Amino acid sequence: MTQLQVGDPAPDFSALTDTGETVRLSDFRGKRVVLYFYPKDDTPGCTKQACSFRDSYAEIQERNAVVLGVSPDGQKAHQKFKTKYDLPFTLLVDEDHAISEAYGVWVEKSMYGKKYMGVARSHFVIDEEGKLVGVSYNVKPEESLPEALAVLSA
C-alpha cells in the first residue's frame, strides 16, 4: 500500500455525508481541510479523537479550515454519533472503503491473533489548492488534533 506524502495532490473523492448530501473534496477548494479517518463511530478512541476536533473547532475555523471525518460506518450510525457528541463537522460515509483505499489507510489489522481489514487512524491536512501539507498515518486519538493544528498554524 503506497502512502501519500506531503506535497502530493490530495485524491479527490465523492461521498455521502451524515445528512445524506453528496460532497466532493474539490467542493472545499479555497479552504483548508482536515480529513481524518477513524475505524468506527462511538468507540472509545474514535470518540476521543472526534471530541478533540469538536472542542477545537472554532480554532480550526479561524485558520480557514473545515474538518471532515471518514469511517466505513453508514449514514445512520454517523447521524447518531454526531448527535450524541454534538459534533459540528461533517462525517463522510465510506462503506466501500474507496476513500480509505485512495489515502492508503485501508490496511490489514490484527486483534487477538485474527487478521482483518480496517481503517488505520490517520489524518491529512489539505491546503486551499488541494495539496497535502500534513500527513499522519497510524496516529493516536489524542495526538491527531494537536498534530493537525500545528500544521494549520505553521
Catalytic residue among 46, 93, 120, 149: 46
Query: What residue segments make up the domains of the chain, in order of their start?
Result: 14-153
Predicted local distance difference test score (pLDDT) of residue 111: 84
Quick one: DSSP state of residue 128? T
56 exposure class (CB count in 10 Å sphere: 0-12, 13-18, 19+) = middle
Predicted local distance difference test score (pLDDT) of residue 96: 96
pLDDT beyond 70 at 1: no
Alpha helices (H) along 8-70 = 44-55, 57-62
Percent over 70 (pLDDT), the chain: 99
The set of cell numbers assigned to 117 is 481489514
pLDDT tens sequence across 31-60 = 999 999 999 999 999 999 999 999 999 999
Q: What confidence tier does 140 reach under pLDDT thresholds 50, 70, 90?
A: very high
Name the nearest CA neighbour of 33 among 16, 56, 10.
Answer: 10
Higher-confidence position of 6 and 110: 6
- Is 46 tagged catalytic? yes
Between CA 75 and CA 114 the distance in angstroms is: 28
Quick one: DSSP state of residue 108? E
The count of C-alpha atoms lying within 13 angstroms of the C-alpha of 30, restricted to the half-sphere facing its C-beta, is 2
pLDDT beyond 90 at 2: no
Could you tell me which residues are beta bridge partners of residue 17? 92
**Class for the domain spanning 14-153:** alpha beta
